[in-house]
Structure 1
């Protein structure tokens, strides 16, 4: 950079700036532009930037920064003129700063909120909201891909949308799958997509689809998961993790999957600590659990009150807690009243990467 400011130090300084500031500083000089555009800088920026959480409320998208001292809420500018095009059962996926959003008529939209670029993806044949969807990056072909499984009478087939060809193609055929899925949205990690699938309460597994090879595999769930109905997949410490909630015992268990496919339980958390005397008239349902960049936990509770005279509309209220894993303490996160009916959709990390193959 200069004899007074080594490049390594400049990277550390710039990586702590906001996306808005970086966009301005790219115009300072060619050296700064090349440095900010470099893949190494992008990866460093992604690693130290706090993870935000994308929320959906009243047909709008919001970014919630829950790790900062001030819990900042930012509304995103939706690119389509009519927000009514958003699917009521909206499903959102995230990969490298770009979102994939379900729209009405089962079409999809990829959207980079930072650049405001977007692209509509045609419906490959989805006819109901239960079709699973995944969005991720394939480093072998250097291409982003969207994956869905479309059921037929006697089989299910994976359909893959490749952005470089801007088209769908049929891929893996699964004969007579009769599988159901815990969640429609796939979890992306290390060029693979993951879903929790099941045929019955005693036959549950993780379906893994490799974006590079178009092959699928089945991984067993933790042995203590077989009777649990509330489960979510995520990523922590560069490993696939599963969060399980047992409503009767009001316990949250989090396990990570090792390279061997075995599971290691890392957290066992009792939610009874959050129940006060005045809350005993309500029924708590854990709606969302995810790790922050600091490996703390974000826990969202939906509370259904039995008392019809309660001040809360329809007898329900959402509460958000931040569990400090180091101190083993809970802290309630108080959001503004305008987001009282929000829904957490996914974690989101801003990035300067804007893939040309997506928005060509």
Structure 2
């Protein structure tokens, strides 16, 4: 079948769109040379919305892989439909660490140059370097140097995004004070805004990695695991969301903050069970338990199981050297990736929820 047959209507345009919307990013852009019709698709507003909608039902896991202590880390993308593929962030021309992921975009922090942050789309290799939070680099205070909390919110409908850096004010050589400094980058005005509040929350390393954007707010699970700390991006107001009494407390239980179909979700892991809770009434703090899963068939892996991403169909979990997939309807567990290299630190240490998108992060930035 020739491209002219397709252009002349051998297949309806909608059928072609549905097929192309299920392709990986690289072949999609490579197929632009097939014909004029296909060339326009990746920049067509309707097709972009369709592609992003299809991607919502196909979650992926992004994992940093350390092949050696002397070689820069690489990255893999675990895709349940297309398998495992390697990709690089070398297009940033900097050594970076992924700090947050949202709707196909990544927020990366420069490792050698503290205080330098990038927002990029690794699938299209499109990126921007955020302006410095200060004219002169600061070394005595958080979060100008290295933020305690980093969050990313990407609004797919408007292509605008926000980056949040938050941490405690700390005079040089002294303990942090209770002044909680928050910096929010707004791509619509290409600038940072700053606010200060009094907070006493604590966060572990893994709490910092668990960042969820939902309902116009960015959420983090606190160290106490008694509540979620949320920042409303519309008015820079912090809010505490209490967790349900049924999942708070208990020795040996671990809580993990995730997103589920646009809602805030918490997964509780115990020795034998995994329970999934969703915040159904966001303003009323009403939680609903949607799943209760036995962990007996993976009992030896339970101590290191760490939920990374989920939809109404599947849950991705990471262990020290594996990525697991749990099918919620069939209740079947499946190993989708395993690492052999002994240099690699635990996969859950640097795993992030991810999905494919063809939106440019530069579209939402106003450079004027």
Cα distance in 1 for partners of 2:265, 2:27 equals: 34
Which structure exhibits the higher relative contact order, with contacts defined as CA atoms closer than 8 Å and separated by 6 or more residues? 2
1:254 counterpart (270, 276, 282)? 276
Matching residue of 1:72? 84
Matching residue of 2:327? 324
Residues 60 and 227 of structure 1, relative CA distance in 2, 3 Å threshold? same
Cα distance in 2 for partners of 1:91, 1:243 equals: 23
Q: Does 1:96 align with 2:103?
A: yes
Shift of residue 267, structure 1, vs aligned partner: 1.7
Return 5+ residue gaps in structure 1 as ranges. Answer: 303-317
Conserved in 1, the CA contact under 8 Å of 2:219 and 2:231?
A: yes
TM-score, structure 2 as length reference: 0.77
Q: Does 1:233 align with 2:270?
A: no
Matching residue of 2:42? 36
Q: Which has the higher strand share?
A: 1
Residues 128 and 243 of structure 1, relative CA distance in 2, 3 Å threshold? farther
Matching residue of 1:315? none
Cα distance in 2 for partners of 1:140, 1:74 equals: 29
Return 5+ residue gaps in structure 2 as ranges. Answer: 1-6, 67-71, 135-141, 170-176
Matching residue of 2:246? 224
Matching residue of 1:112? 121
Cα distance in 2 for partners of 1:328, 1:188 equals: 28
Residues 265 and 350 of structure 1, relative CA distance in 2, 3 Å threshold? same
Matching residue of 1:137? 154
Shift of residue 288, structure 1, vs aligned partner: 2.1
Deviates more, 1:122-131 or 1:178-187: 122-131
Conserved in 2, the CA contact under 8 Å of 1:300 and 1:321?
A: yes
Shift of residue 338, structure 1, vs aligned partner: 4.1
Conserved in 1, the CA contact under 8 Å of 2:319 and 2:347?
A: no
User: RMSD over aligned Cα, in angstroms?
Assistant: 3.0
Conserved in 1, the CA contact under 8 Å of 2:153 and 2:218?
A: yes
Matching residue of 1:295? 313
Q: Does 1:9 align with 2:51?
A: no
Cα distance in 1 for partners of 2:230, 2:46 equals: 29
- Match of 1:347, SS? strand
Deviates more, 1:186-195 or 1:330-339: 330-339
Residues 239 and 71 of structure 1, relative CA distance in 2, 3 Å threshold? same
Cα distance in 2 for partners of 1:128, 1:287 equals: 32
Q: Matched residue pairs, number?
A: 326
Conserved in 2, the CA contact under 8 Å of 1:60 and 1:76?
A: no
Shift of residue 18, structure 1, vs aligned partner: 2.4
TM-score, structure 1 as length reference: 0.78
Residues 130 and 167 of structure 1, relative CA distance in 2, 3 Å threshold? closer
